[in-house]
Structure 1
Amino acid sequence: MGFRKKTKNVSEIAEGKAKETLGKAVGNEKLESKGRAEKTKGMLKQAVEKGKDKFRH
């Protein structure tokens, strides 16, 4: 996996976790769900990249 893509995916996961936690703390369901979706998206992208790496090596 390219270092840039890996870093981007990890930052997307972290940002999603932060939004989800903030949404829970303030009781904002929209922010919480947005954060959860962003976190899931980052995790999915990371899984795809790891799968690509397995086929390359």
Structure 2
Amino acid sequence: MARDQKAKAKAEQAKGKIKETTGRAVGNERMTAEGRVEKAKGDARQAKEKTKDIFRG
């Protein structure tokens, strides 16, 4: 299950980065902001999983 969550975190980070970059390229501030939010969610999920790994062993 942890692998699934880690993969989901990486996917969110990548999707957010793409959306943020695309938003900047086309000058769409809303898309840029949405990309930052998605990227931050992925970062938070990844940090949570790393913390869980530390306590597991």
Q: Structure 1-normalised TM-score?
A: 0.95
Instruction: Report sequence identity in percent.
Output: 53
- Mapped pair 1:56 → 2:42: no
Matches within 5 A, 1:5-16: 5-16=5-16
- Which ranges of structure 2 fall in alignment gaps of 5 or more residues? none
Corresponding residue number in structure 2 for 1:38: 38
Cα distance between partner residues in 2 of 1:3 and 1:51:
14
- Which ranges of structure 1 fall in alignment gaps of 5 or more residues? none
How many residues are treated as equivalent by the alignment?
57
Aligned CA RMSD, in angstroms, stands at 1.0
Flag as ranges the 4+ runs of structure 1 deviating above 6 A.
none
